[in-house]
């Protein structure tokens, strides 16, 4: 069951009030899908309705929320704290193209004929950029959709492609616009570009405190800014608490931990002391100290971006629905959701 919602007076002010579209990206392996799901769940509180969208065909939503494989339709996947509602959508390019043809050209059964002759597969797998245009177009439609004069969703969270291609993915409509000077294609391309570059959109970056993920995060931040795309916050994933005090970390890094103190600690814990065991612990302490020094250095590089930084812990037991609720609560406490 979801935890009770914090009252408006108890929770901190959200950093992204007014944002309708949260794009979440990160280097592969940094946990961007988990962070996107936790962010969406954190936003889906106090009666808010949120849509979590995936576009990479990996069925990550179904796996994280332990629901059946997602079809090409919006389905509820979780209940947020305080009566919120979280829906999920796995966008499939072929279905998106058929929907697009019906929406703008009223092709109806003719679209099915195109699919039969392979035109749909050609457009979605071979034609440059068409796939990404369809994916961003569906996200745009979800953000803009209204019923009875009100937005259907209070927020949309997009589990986007990795940082290595995020700028190209979000800029695809701006690149395609000159190819169609008039008509619905040009109109939609302009509208999507306007939304993605507006204050209603932010692009959040997920990283680990390791050299390659941090460097890719910095590169992506620069590319997004140069392209006029709004940069959001940085989520540092898998944060580990130090197991040694600062003094002992410094000693471990220099190989100067007190061997006798380690032996005494083992004895006090009822563990039989042996030279290999003590040396193994000293070696592990030195490795831990080196790791912590690297994390401190990489965190400084992240902080230098000047963007809001959020932290979520490492989860040795893996991510289940209960863990997602916990991560969502952490992001709310920190003001991201």
In order, the DSSP letters of 282-303 are HHHHHHHHHHHHHHHHHHHHHH
Q: What is the CATH number of the domain that holds 119?
A: 3.40.50.300
Q: Which residues pair with 204 in a beta bridge?
A: 24
- Whether 138 has a pLDDT exceeding 70, the answer reads yes
Q: Do 187 and 77 reside in the same domain of the chain? A: yes
Q: Is residue 63 part of a domain?
A: yes
Mean pLDDT of 179-204: 82
Q: Provide the pLDDT for residue 117.
A: 44
pTM for this one?
0.86
Q: Do 256 and 222 reside in the same domain of the chain? A: no
Q: Is residue 12 part of a domain?
A: no
Q: Is residue 10 part of a domain?
A: no
E strand segments, the chain:
21-26, 49-54, 75-79, 85-90, 146-147, 150-151, 155-159, 201-207, 231-239, 309-313
Q: Do 109 and 256 reside in the same domain of the chain? A: no
The pLDDT mean for the chain works out to: 86
**pLDDT tier for residue 291 given thresholds of 50, 70 and 90:** confident
Give pLDDT tens digits for 221-236: 999 999 999 999 999 9
**pLDDT tier for residue 301 given thresholds of 50, 70 and 90:** very high
Q: Do 169 and 290 reside in the same domain of the chain? A: no
Q: Is residue 14 part of a domain?
A: no
- Distance, CA of 22 to chain centre: 9
Cβ 31 vs Cβ 162: under 8 Å: no
Q: Is residue 7 part of a domain?
A: no
Q: Do 115 and 264 reside in the same domain of the chain? A: no
Q: Provide the pLDDT for residue 119.
A: 46
Overall number of domains in the chain: 2
Q: Do 249 and 172 reside in the same domain of the chain? A: no
- Distance, CA of 243 to chain centre: 28
> Which residues form the domain of 172?
21-240+314-333
d(CA 132, CA 97): 11
Most confident of 117-121, 122-126, 300-304: 300-304
Mean pLDDT of 120-145: 74
Q: Provide the pLDDT for residue 252.
A: 87
Q: Do 275 and 163 reside in the same domain of the chain? A: no
Q: Do 202 and 99 reside in the same domain of the chain? A: yes
Q: Is residue 103 part of a domain?
A: yes
Q: Do 300 and 322 reside in the same domain of the chain? A: no
Higher pLDDT, 119 or 273: 273
**pLDDT tier for residue 2 given thresholds of 50, 70 and 90:** very low
Q: Provide the pLDDT for residue 181.
A: 58
Q: Do 136 and 209 reside in the same domain of the chain? A: yes
Give pLDDT tens digits for 8-55: 444 457 899 999 999 999 999 999 999 999 999 999 998 999 999 999
Q: Is residue 9 part of a domain?
A: no
d(CA 187, CA 298): 43
Q: Is residue 42 part of a domain?
A: yes
Q: Do 75 and 166 reside in the same domain of the chain? A: yes
**pLDDT tier for residue 203 given thresholds of 50, 70 and 90:** very high
Share of the chain above pLDDT 90, in %: 63
Q: Provide the pLDDT for residue 5.
A: 42
Q: Do 95 and 50 reside in the same domain of the chain? A: yes
- Whether 118 has a pLDDT exceeding 70, the answer reads no
**pLDDT tier for residue 112 given thresholds of 50, 70 and 90:** low
């Amino acid at each position: 069951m979801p935890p009770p919602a914090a009252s408006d007076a108890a929770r901190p002010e959200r950093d992204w009030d007014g944002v309708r579209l949260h794009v979440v990206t990160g280097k592969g392996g940094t946990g961007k899908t988990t962070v996107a799901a936790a962010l969406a769940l954190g936003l889906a509180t106090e009666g808010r309705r949120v849509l979590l969208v995936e576009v990479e065909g990996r069925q990550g939503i179904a796996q994280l929320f332990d629901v059946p494989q997602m079809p090409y339709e919006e389905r509820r996947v979780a209940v947020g704290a305080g009566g919120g509602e979280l829906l999920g959508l796995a966008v499939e390019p072929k279905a998106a193209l058929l929907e697009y043809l019906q929406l703008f050209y009223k092709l109806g059964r003719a679209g099915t004929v195109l699919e039969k002759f392979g035109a749909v597969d050609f457009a979605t797998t071979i034609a440059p950029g068409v796939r990404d245009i369809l994916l961003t177009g569906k996200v745009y439609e979800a953000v803009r959709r209204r019923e009875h004069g009100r937005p259907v969703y209070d927020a949309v969270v997009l589990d986007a492609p990795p940082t290595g291609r995020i700028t190209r993915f979000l800029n695809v409509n701006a690149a395609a616009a000159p190819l169609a000077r008039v008509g619905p294609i040009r109109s939609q391309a302009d509208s999507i570009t306007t939304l993605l570059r507006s204050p209603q959109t932010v692009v959040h970056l997920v990283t680990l405190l390791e050299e390659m993920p941090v460097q890719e995060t910095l590169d992506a931040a620069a590319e997004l800014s140069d392209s006029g795309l709004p940069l959001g916050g940085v989520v540092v994933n898998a944060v580990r608490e130090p197991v040694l005090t600062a003094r002992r970390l410094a000693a471990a890094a220099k190989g100067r931990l007190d061997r006798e103190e380690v032996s005494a600690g083992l004895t006090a814990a009822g563990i039989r002391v042996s030279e290999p065991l003590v040396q193994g612990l000293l070696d592990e302490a030195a490795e831990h100290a080196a790791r912590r020094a690297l994390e401190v250095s990489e965190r400084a590089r992240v902080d230098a971006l000047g963007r809001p930084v959020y932290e979520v812990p490492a989860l040795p037991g893996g991510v289940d629905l209960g863990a997602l609720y916990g991560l969502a609560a952490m992001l709310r406490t920190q003001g991201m959701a």
